[in-house]
Amino acid sequence: MAQMEVGVLGATGTVGQQFVRLLDQHPWFKLTWLAGSERSEGKRYADAAPWRLSTPIPTESADKIVQAPVPGQGPKLVFSALDAAVAGELEAAFAAAGHIVVSNARNYRMEADVPLLVPEVNPEHLGLVPLQSTRGWKGSIVTNPNCSTVFLAMALAPLRQFNLRQVMVTTLQAVSGAGYPGVPSLDILGNVVPFIGGEEEKIESETKRILGSLRSENGKNAVVPHGVTISAQTTRVPVIDGHTESISVSIDQGVTIEDVKQALMTFRGRPQDQRLPSAPCHPIVYLPEQNRPQPRLDVDRGNGMTVTIGRLRPCSVLGYKFIALGHNTVRGAAGAALLNAELMQSEGVL
Query: Given the rule CB under 8 A, which of 72-80, 124-132, 187-195, 275-283 is the region that contacts a second copy?
Result: 187-195
Q: Is 284 an interacting residue with respect to a second copy (CB under 8 A)?
A: no
Residues touching a second copy: how many (CB under 8 A)? 63
Q: In whole angstroms, give the CA distance from residue 280 to residue 289.
A: 21
Around 175, how many Cα atoms within 13 Å sit in the side-chain half-sphere? 19
Q: In whole angstroms, give the CA distance from residue 194 to residue 234.
A: 6
Nearest approach, Cβ of 142 to a second copy (angstroms)?
28
Among 213, 231, 262, 266, the residue binding a second copy under the rule CB under 8 A is 231
Q: Is 253 an interacting residue with respect to a second copy (CB under 8 A)?
A: no
Q: In whole angstroms, give the CA distance from residue 29 to residue 7.
A: 9
211 by DSSP, 3-state: which?
Answer: helix
Among 65, 240, 255, 350, the residue binding a second copy under the rule CB under 8 A is 240
Nearest approach, Cβ of 15 to a second copy (angstroms)?
13
Residue 310's φ and ψ, nearest 5 degrees, are -155, 180
Strand partners, 68: none
* Active-site residue identified among 99, 243, 282, 327: 243
Using CA atoms, how far residue 113 sits from 22, 131, 165, 180, in Å, is: 28, 6, 26, 31
Nearer to a second copy, 67 or 234 (CB): 234
Give the contacts of 338 (CB within 8 A, at least 6 positions apart).
19, 22, 23, 26, 29, 79, 102, 278
Known catalytic residue: 226? no
Nearest approach, Cβ of 104 to a second copy (angstroms)?
18
- In the chain, what is the straight-line distance between the N-terminal and C-terminal CA atoms, in Å? 14
Known catalytic residue: 243? yes
Nearest approach, Cβ of 63 to a second copy (angstroms)?
15
Among 166, 205, 272, 274, the residue binding a second copy under the rule CB under 8 A is 166
Q: Is 133 an interacting residue with respect to a second copy (CB under 8 A)?
A: no
- Within residues 25-54, the interface with a second copy by CB under 8 A covers 51-54
- Within residues 288-317, the interface with a second copy by CB under 8 A covers 290-297, 299-301, 310-311, 315-317
Question: Taking Cα atoms as reference points, which of 128, 29, 13 lies closest to residue 77?
Answer: 29
Q: In whole angstroms, give the CA distance from residue 60 to residue 72.
A: 23
Interface residues with a second copy (CB under 8 A) are 14, 51-56, 166-168, 170, 172, 175-176, 180-195, 204, 229-231, 233, 235, 237-240, 242, 244, 246, 248, 290-297, 299-301, 310-311, 315-318, 321, 323
Catalytically annotated residues: 147, 243
